[in-house]
Structures are given as structure tokens and as C-alpha cells.
Amino acid sequence: MSAEPRYIHHVNFPTTDPDRTAAWYAKVFGMKRITPKSNTRVVLMTRGNFDLHFTPVEEMERMAPYHFAVEVDDWDDFLAHLKELGIRHTRPVQRPENQSKFCYIHDPDHTMIELVYHAKRPN
């Protein structure tokens, strides 16, 4: 038994339109919507290696500058994917000290998402 946590299971965000949110995260990150076995209204999305939950709300409170970050395997391919989808991103920034890159996008409810790429990721 260990007193240390293993990993973050999921993060929950508000959404003003559950179906639009589910479709967006499926399209952008390849996530799959899970049908809950309980009577919850929460939208459950998974990629297998991480989950996101979305609680329906009437009005969205502005979340910025709060955000979450997603590591991508291929920077150029993912930015091309965003371009095909018509999703704008901030100007990419490169950090020469660790050969990483990052930029930001927003989901339909304006939740900020940082996209991160590390050329030399530790195994």
C-alpha cells in the first residue's frame, strides 16, 4: 500500500452545451463519450489515458487564466489538424532550454487548453 496518489483520474469543467462540448472534444482530441451507468447529467469523456468530465451549467463563469495542458506527440501534425478544423491557436512559443513548444486554444465554452510538445520527453 502506498500513501502517494498514482495519477489524476479526471478533471471536471462546466459546459453550457453538453452535446456541443462532447462533439468538440471528440473531434479535436479523439475522445469518446461514455454513457454513465447512473442518472448523472455529467458528460464523461475518455481517451483511455486521461478522462475529462463536464458538468452542465446555465451560464459560464470565465475560467481564464486557469487552464489544463495536453501533451501532443507530433507538434506539426497537431497544428495542421487544428487548421483543418478551423480552430485558432495562440502564437506558438518555443523553449530552447528543454526543446519544448506550447500554445493555447479554447473550447466552445472558452475553457483554455495549453498544447505542449517536448522533443526530448523523459521515458
DSSP helix/strand/coil, 57: coil
Radius of gyration of the chain (CA): 16
Report the alpha-carbon distance of residue 27 to residue 13 in Å, rounded.
18
Report the alpha-carbon distance of residue 39 to residue 79 in Å, rounded.
37
Distance in Å from the first CA to the final CA of the chain: 25
Instruction: Report the amino acid identity of residue 41.
Output: R
Give the per-residue pLDDT at 52: 96
Q: Which three cell numbers stand for residue 50?
A: 486521461
Q: Which three cell numbers stand for residue 101?
A: 513548444
Give the per-residue pLDDT at 64: 57
Q: Which three cell numbers stand for residue 98?
A: 528543454
Q: DSSP label at 50?
A: -
- Output the pTM of the full model: 0.84
Stretches where the chain sits below pLDDT 70 are 1-2, 5, 63-65, 121-123
